[in-house]
Structure 1
Amino acid sequence: MLKFVKGPLESIDGVEIYPIISLLIFFFFFTALFWWVFTARKEYIRDVSNLPLELNNDQEGHNNQKTD
């Protein structure tokens, strides 16, 4: 299986840089995500985590009209 992938890639000049670039993108993305998680305000995390559970007045009124 590896020969089907490795064979055509060996003929491309400079192909060895792509795994390095993808590893760097992966590393920087998850490092930034890790940093954001630990520096985010707790109030913001709590508000965002409760968003799907909260109903605003428009939705409550619409739901009450539907059930009557």
Structure 2
Amino acid sequence: MLKFVKNHMESITGIEIYPIISLLIFFIFFVVLFYWVITAKKDYITTVSNLPLDNENDTLL
């Protein structure tokens, strides 16, 4: 099965760029996420972390 897929993929021209693109998207996403976590303000992190425990805005339908 893998031999069939490998032979089929080798016949497609220009397919070698897709793994590089997916690796770049993956890497850039996590670099941006890491930057956002490092630069996030302490007040924002505290507010967001307390949201599940905040009972003031709970409404029953």
Q: TM-score, normalised by structure 1?
A: 0.76
Alignment partners' CA distance in 1, 2:14 and 2:48: 44
The C-alpha deviation readout for 1:25-47, integer Å capped at 9, x for no partner, is 00100000000000000110111
Which residue number in structure 2 is paired with residue 45 of structure 1? 45
User: Structure 1 or 2: larger helix share?
Assistant: 1
Shift of 1:4: 3.8
Alignment partners' CA distance in 2, 1:29 and 1:57: 33
Q: TM-score, normalised by structure 2?
A: 0.84
Amino acid at match of 1:5: V
Which residue number in structure 2 is paired with residue 18 of structure 1? 18
**SS of residue matched to 2:8:** helix
RMSD across aligned C-alpha pairs, in angstroms?
A: 1.6
Which has the larger Rg? Answer: 1
Which residue number in structure 1 is paired with residue 34 of structure 2? 34
Question: Can you give the 5+ residue segments of structure 2 that lack an aligned partner in the other structure?
Answer: none
**SS of residue matched to 1:15:** coil
Instruction: Number of aligned residue pairs: give it.
Output: 60
Select the structure with the greater relative contact order (CA < 8 A; seq sep ≥ 6).
2
